Structure 1
Amino acid sequence: MDAHTPVTQGPLSVQDPGHCMALVRHTFGRLPQESLIVIGLLRGYTGGHMRIDLPPALQDPFTSARLVADCLAGEGSAPTPEAALVVLIGEGPVTPEQDDVWRACLDALTMMLDSEYCVRIVQTWFVSGDHVRDPLCTDPGCCNLPGRRLSDLTLPHLGGPLGAGPGRETQPLDRAADAFLDGAPGADPTLTAYLAELRRGHPEGRDQHTPRRRLYAWDLALREQLDSARKSGNQRKSGSQLMDPAARAERLTELLGQLRSGSGRDLLIPLAALSLDHALLGLHLDHRAREVPAVIPGDAAEEAMLQDCAKSFFGETGSRPDWRRVDALESVLRELVPYARGPERENLLCLMGWIEWVRGRGSAAGSYVDRCLTEFPQNQFCQVIESLMQFKGVCLWARVKQHSWSWSRNSMADPD
């Protein structure tokens, strides 16, 4: 950890490793492990940024460089950066062989960004083990292997906890599912008893709540999370926690009931990413399709909404989703963890995998996919997410800068 007190100061210098480590930590909320990070620069300001896993980038540097270049400066990247900062973060020990492999990755990225998009890499930092170095520095007293110790850096304070130093993240993204499940609130024994009674009175498959009512309950839960976040800055608290145990149990049965089927699970995607109206239309059309095969929407507006519903699964609506509602969906799912069982837990893990994939966090999405397929090997939803990550790579919402989750978090703009 940093032995120095972080200082608040003026403009950052990309030539200062402490400044760059602070920027990476501020951008990603941590100093990620095993990562290739590229941050766009335009007229002295940081812009779009991307993180991919380092091992695949080292194994196939040109394919990875193409992916990074297209996302950072290709179609949908406006405003396009004029320069870039590159940071490679991996494990030690630092060796000449590691240095050669990392330099090959940097060369591929340099060539792709410069030749395809005229984006110049103005600074690179290699962070290996507990050391950081500039691979292009010619000063033998500065950046010879292994480089400077991270603990010797002074980090400016860019927001967040003052106690955070330049060290690594405590929880890597490829263990996101474990962190999510382990960090969920514990089960309330009184609430668990009420739920058990309700389950005995209404066995699975004989849910007393209508599908429409369950969607309204979910929409209310999302809105409560948003209201709670605006008032307290903590999305883990919700208005439902003010209810008595019996009422809370009734609410939970409504929410869990939506997770007992794949069709119910799938409707939560447009509900969160788009709106309640989109989800209700999808529900209405699903019921009509069961009665009249190949049914189509009644008018052009409905057809457009239905197409957006379908495209929301793939993150290909062509506009920014409502990321605040997507974040609220994660918060509600977290509250359900101690009470979800069987297909409820299965579909909860599916939705978390989808959330992380559309956010552009492939490692985190992969952790949920792996967890779900370990517990439920036949799950087709996660098999589809796994295929999307393999063949489509980064979700289109994440690839288009102004539609992305990370851009939305920084801009706090309303959805299109």
Structure 2
Amino acid sequence: MEPLTIKTPADVLSFVGHTLGFWPQESLVCITLDANRVGATLRVDLPNREGGFSYARTVADYLAHDASAASVLFAVYTSEPQKPGQPKPHAATIAALTCALAERGMTIRDGLLVGDNTVSPYDGDPQNGQSLPLKATESSQINAEFVYRGSTIAPTNHITLPASTKENRTGDAVNDRVKTIHTMNPGEALEQARTLWDGMLDAISYPNDDETISLIANFQAPAIRDQLMADIPGIDEPMDRVLLAQTHSGPQWSRVEWAQQLLLHAYTHSSTKHSAPILTAIAFVNWWEGRGSKAHQFLQLALEADPAYHLARLSDLMIGSGMVAGWNMDKDRAFRPRGLEAS
């Protein structure tokens, strides 16, 4: 695959959109740079209040995990209007970030201000004609190359779940299967569940209805659920290290992506009362891949299905605290081509 060359602001915005998979809103996006090579891409929500040294330090800490990065390119995406003679939107935040990066031996190479309709240099004068219409991204060379490779940019990062059959007859079938699991020897039940799951992960087609019902039922048992989630990345290391993405080995990302499709398939066959474990597992996949805000959305859906679902609540607290999956701190193990999000 030929390397991409970023030359213009339109190229930058196209790169960000395709890397994240959606168009950021009220966001700060930072791209680490080493000489002329692009490193990690990070998106975070803009702070509610101006300034915020703790916010700036957190962002700088994320970026500093790219050990080879020497400088940063940032883009502020906001609908806040730029008023003549007034500081730029979120100027105090960018000033704090500049200081926090300097403390970590990094500099800001350039910045962009992205509004609802235009993009301009962050340090430029809005009256001097340097603004470009956002539609320019559609004709940029980078956008054309990504589209050619099959990439698309969603208008937002809000998830859209496939239609669910919900309260259908599979609910009773899952309940019957759960009762059977509870009568089995725990080790035998776990082994059967792992064998079924491994077969699905190695397959190239979706499971039949009976297998799907068994999968949904297996995820209702916490001990089985945790092991099946840990089996997703294909890493033979302790379960807790896999779930927290703190392993020595990197995940098999194609396997992780297929697991998410299987879980979404299971969700479409789940009744509401059985869907929380499935949605929580999908949230973990998104967190592993660096999509913190999407992981949060899936966890919120899990809690809507079952407000008392303990794993979803604890996981949402973990992600909400800003914890990033360890694999995303290593460019050789991080999921590609998507960028990193901190919820």
TM-score bracket for the superposition, by shorter chain length: 0.7 to 0.9
Does 1:70 pair with 2:55?
no
Unaligned runs of 5+ in 2: none
- 95 and 365 in structure 1: CA distance in 2 versus 1, 3 angstrom threshold: farther
Q: Distance in 2 between matches of 1:63 and 1:348?
A: 34
**SS of the counterpart of 1:132?**
strand
Structure 1 SS opposite 2:16: helix
Change (3 A) 1:345 1:203: same
Residue 159 of structure 1 aligns to a residue whose secondary structure is helix
Shift of 1:55: 3.4
Tell me the distance in 2 between the aligned counterparts of 1:155 and 1:72: 27
Equivalent position SS for 1:87: strand
Map 1:323-402 onto structure 2 (within 5 A): 323-391=253-321, 393-402=323-332
The match for 2:192 is: 213
Count of aligned positions: 329
User: What secondary structure sits across from 2:108 in the alignment?
Assistant: strand
Code of the aligned partner of 1:39: I
Q: 2:248 aligned with 1:256, yes or no? A: no
Cα deviation code 1:119-172 (max 9, x no counterpart): 2221111112112111212584224xxx4321255411232259999xx84232
CA–CA distance in 2 between the matches of 1:325 and 1:362? 20
1:366/1:386 contact within 8 Å kept? yes
How many angstroms does 1:348 deviate by? 0.6
CA distance in 2, matches of 1:323, 1:204: 30
Q: Which has the larger radius of gyration?
A: 1
Pick one of 81, 105, 110 that aligns with 2:93.
Answer: 105
Partner letter of residue 140 of structure 2?
L
| C-alpha contact (below 8 Å) 1:18/1:155 kept by paired residues | yes
Cα displacement (A) at 1:96? 5.6
Unaligned 5+ segments in structure 1 are 1-7, 229-237, 241-247, 279-304, 411-416
Residue identity in the other structure for 2:319: M
Separation in 2, partners of 1:327, 1:348: 15
* CA deviation after TM superposition for structure 1 residue 362, in Å: 1.8
- For residues 60 and 365 of structure 1, the distance between their equivalents in structure 2, rounded to whole angstroms, comes to 27
- Contact kept in structure 1, 2:14 and 2:140, CA below 8 Å: yes
Partners of 1:315 and 1:383 in 2: CA distance? 19
SS state at 1:69 partner? helix
Query: Closer, same or farther in 2 for the Cα pair 1:216/1:128, shift >3 Å?
Result: same
For residues 103 and 213 of structure 2, the distance between their equivalents in structure 1, rounded to whole angstroms, comes to 57
User: After superposition, what is the alpha-carbon deviation per residue over 1:332-355, rounded to whole angstroms, capped at 9, x for unaligned?
Assistant: 011112211255311011112222
Tell me how far apart the structure 2 counterparts of residues 84 and 137 of structure 1 sit (CA, whole Å): 18
- % identity of equivalent residues: 21
Distance in 2 (CA, whole Å) between partners of 1:9 and 1:218 is: 37
Contact 2:76/2:113 (<8 A) preserved: yes
Aligned to 2:245: 315
> Per the alignment, do residues 70 and 198 of structure 1 end up closer, same or farther by CA in structure 2, a change over 3 Å counting?
closer
How far apart are the structure 2 equivalents of 1:68 and 1:17?
22
* Residues 290-343 of structure 1, C-alpha deviations (whole Å, 9 max, x = no match): xxxxxxxxxxxxxxx4xx211222222244223222222211011112211255
- Residues 260, 343 of structure 1: 8 Å contact kept: no
**What is the rounded CA distance, in whole Å, between the counterparts of 2:5 and 2:314 in structure 1?**
44
TM-score of the two chains, using structure 2 as the length reference = 0.83
| Mapped contact 1:94–1:129 kept (Cα < 8 A) | no
- What secondary structure sits across from 1:374 in the alignment? helix
Aligned partner of 1:41 in structure 2 is: 33
Displacement over 4 Å in runs of 4+? 96-99, 161-165, 195-200
Matched-pair contact (CA < 8 Å) for 1:316–1:397: yes
| Cα pair 1:26 1:158 within 8 Å, conserved | no
**Separation in 2, partners of 1:95, 1:267:** 54
Query: How many angstroms does 1:219 deviate by?
Result: 1.0
Superposed CA RMSD in Å reads 3.2
Richer in helix (by share): 1
Q: Does 1:160 align with 2:147?
A: yes
The partner residue of 2:77 within 84, 89, 96 is 89
- In the other structure, the counterpart of 1:231 is none
